[in-house]
Amino acid sequence: MINIDYLTLKAFLDENIDFLIGGRLQKIQQPTRRDFILSVRNQGESRKLYININPSVYHIAFMTPEGEKRRNIVIPKQPPMFCMLLRKYLEGARISDALTIENERILELHFETYDELSQMRSLCLCIELMGKHSNVILYDRESSIIIGCAHNVGAEKSRYRELQGGLKYVYPPVVNEKSKVQTPLYKILNLQNINEGLDEYYSKIQEDINVKNEKSKLLTIAEAKLRKVKNSLSKIEALLKKRDNTEKYRHLGELLTANIYLKADYKSSVEVFDYTTGENTVIELDKTKTMNENAQRYYKLYNKSKTTKEKSSKILEELNIEKEYLENIIYSINQGNSLEDLEEIKTELGLVEEKKSEKKSHPIVSKIDVGGFDVYIGKNNKQNDYIVSKLAKDEDYWFHTRLCAGSHVLLKVKEKEPDEKVIFECCKLARQYSSAALPSKVGVIYTKAKYLRKPPAAPLGYVTYKNEKEVLI
């Protein structure tokens, strides 16, 4: 990223000076602690001046609709205190002048407004775009007394100047001659329209940062869920592998029933002939019970063990389905390139409630042409589920990597059957859009859509299949 410089800031002001001067500040919003939106109306139009003082992406620009969408701005219900202060003093005020400070990344907006006594008052909103020292300061132009700052700077933070309400505003120390800009940002980027260029350049950077941060949050949640599922899986698998006495209990009950004539009531053990081994064996008994009661005790242990085994196997199957589902979610998060992609995943994870309009509309699935055939590729479980549930017809072909997370790939069949070349290309697409490591070979399975089945209560995108073929890619 290239930081904004004072020459670019001056070029931005020169381009927009006619709109700014005489403009009236209609609305002030502060989405976060470090960005502001000033809605200015002049010359019969309204424009949103976006100010960002985040040290990693500080800049200023009038937002285009595309830039606003990329920034994914969310206005809080309760505005911050500094936003309330700006509204009190500046909302409805007219911009009387706008200027930059020589060799400094500082833009000043001068306002004319009236106080409670209807006296004219001249205020200045000073926008300092200076890396980690970036700030927005409101001060009185006549007295230079600061009314408020986006963030206060005390003596412990800076030995050069303090910034907080009640203190006199002074400009930062003069910049060193050696640090002056040689080639401004707008020339490096070859911007024809300074504002649109700045808006596009920085909004894309912000979008990348937002996507990266959102991915990190979602991965933390999904990976924690997956670890929990894997932990439960390992415990149940260990329980099932541990001594399985189910058949043993049944066998002991049968031996006692067959040898009931021995009348070993109220004894601690009995020796009987085991017809499966052809040898005698000693069976431990509860000496407080009769031989018949002991036989019934072993039958009860058999039934209990059998029920536990069946329940554990069912839970194991459900956990494996959930594990596969979460692995697909993690794959989808890693593949997400926009906030819209990640928003669908947040809905899947139950982090946000699905809007009513989204419930009615179907997800937008990527479609490409392969040898004259339409091929659909799902980006996440919601899209995968739509492909299988809505788009797929009986004679269409479905592709997916074996034993690893990946996208559902659907080959639509209309009039003629696809040849081997088209099938192979679709297998390559399924391999490409999967979590499999690139150097390794992976099995890709495919079958007709009529052989797919979505089990009841199965998670989004989960299907079982039969009559599949496999290609090693």
From residue 312, give the alpha-carbon distance in Å to each of 225, 236, 248.
Answer: 20, 7, 19
Dist CA 157 CA 151 (whole Å): 11
- Computed over every residue of the chain, the mean pLDDT equals 91
Helical (H) or strand (E) element with 397: strand 397-401
Angle at 408 between CA 404 and CA 409, to 5 degrees: 120
Is 185 within 8 Å of 52 (Cβ atoms)? no
Q: What's the pLDDT at 202?
A: 97
Q: What percent of the chain has pLDDT over 70?
A: 96
The number of CA neighbours under 13 Å toward the Cβ of 351 is 14
The DSSP result for 435-472, as a single string, is SS-TTS--EEEEEEGGGEE--TTPPTT--EE-S-EEEE
pLDDT value for 356:
53
pLDDT value of residue 218: 93
H helix or E strand, kind and range, residue 85: helix 81-90
Domain definitions of the chain by residue range = 6-209, 246-328, 353-472
| Cβ proximity of 120 and 128 under 8 Å | no
Contact between residue 207 and residue 52 where contact means Cβ atoms under 8 Å apart: no
Give helix 291-335 / helix 194-241 axis angle, nearest 10°: 160
Record the pTM.
0.75
Report phi then psi at 175, rounded to 5. Answer: -70, 145
Mode of pairing for the β-strands spanning 135-140 and 146-149: antiparallel
Residues of the chain with pLDDT under 70: 175-181, 243, 352-361, 437
Question: What is the per-residue pLDDT for 200?
Answer: 96
User: CA angle at residue 391 from 388 to 395, to 5 degrees?
Assistant: 85
The DSSP secondary-structure symbol of 146 reads E
Q: What is the pLDDT at residue 198? A: 97
Q: What is the CATH architecture assignment of 6-209? A: Roll (2.30)
